[in-house]
Chain A
Amino acid sequence: SQTIHQWPATLVQPVGSPLSLECTVEGTSNPNLYWYRQAAGRGLQLLFYSVGIGQISSEVPQNLSASRPQDRQFILSSKKLLLSDSGFYLCAQRVGRGNSPLHFGNGTRLTVT
């Protein structure tokens, strides 16, 4: 089975502070990994995806960055948070290519004050 761990579950950070959200996956190797953000009452916005260690594709230019230091670890970071960074951050993995679904973690609720 595929298990995704995200932490923390909730986070309140002041504007201008740094951010580090971690996602680790179990049960598979060489997955595609994704970071999505969901604003209140909105759909999911793809932020970053990775097809392998050290390989990061950015979908939206903003003050966030992502890294994949290990095959099963995906980290979302920011040096200085903005109010607009508040939202629900979801990590997802995809095993295989083509017609396969995403498996999501339970998300991190970030509030920037």
Chain B
Amino acid sequence: SQQGEEDPQALSIQEGENATMNCSYKTSINNLQWYRQNSGRGLVHLILIRSNEREKHSGRLRVTLDTSKKSSSLLITASRAADTASYFCATDAKGNNRLAFGKGNQVVVIP
């Protein structure tokens, strides 16, 4: 079954603004990962947060994880036009060899 499901929103923001996306899931996880996909390309891994972590930073990315609410958020600060892409969360459930992806969030950053 599909785990990891973003709020299915298309987000349009001005360059320099922050972009926030949310993701919820249903079962116990080892970790949660965020990926980025440019149009017509494969997905690229951005950041992984383990189930015992609450927040993680990587450059302009900030990820939070709330296991009690089974939810995560991805914040992109000071957005750039090059951040325009679809962003997916994926959950790595306990006992599995595979990731389950959500439907993705389209982000458009207007220069």
Contact = CB atoms under 8 A, between A and B. Distances in A.
B30 A102 contact: no
Contact of A46 (B35, B44, B98, B104): B98
Categorize the interface residue count of chain A. 20 to 34
Contacts of A65: none
Contacts of B103: 42-43
B76 interface: no
Contacts, number: 60
A32 B41 CA distance: 21
B30 A99 contact: yes
Given A102-B43, A109-B40, A44 B97 contact: no
Given A43-B2, A43-B101, A44-B88, A106 B45 contact: no
Interface in A23-77: 32, 34, 36, 42-46, 49, 51, 57, 59
Give the 5 A-B CB pairs with smallest separation, nearest first.
A104-B42, A101-B45, A43-B103, A44-B101, A104-B43
9 contacts: A44-B101, A46-B100, A49-B98, A92-B43, A99-B30, A99-B31, A101-B33, A104-B43, A105-B42
Given A46-B99, A106-B42, 14 more contacts: A36-B101, A43-B103, A45-B2, A49-B98, A90-B42, A92-B43, A99-B30, A99-B31, A101-B48, A102-B99, A104-B43, A106-B41, A107-B42, A109-B40
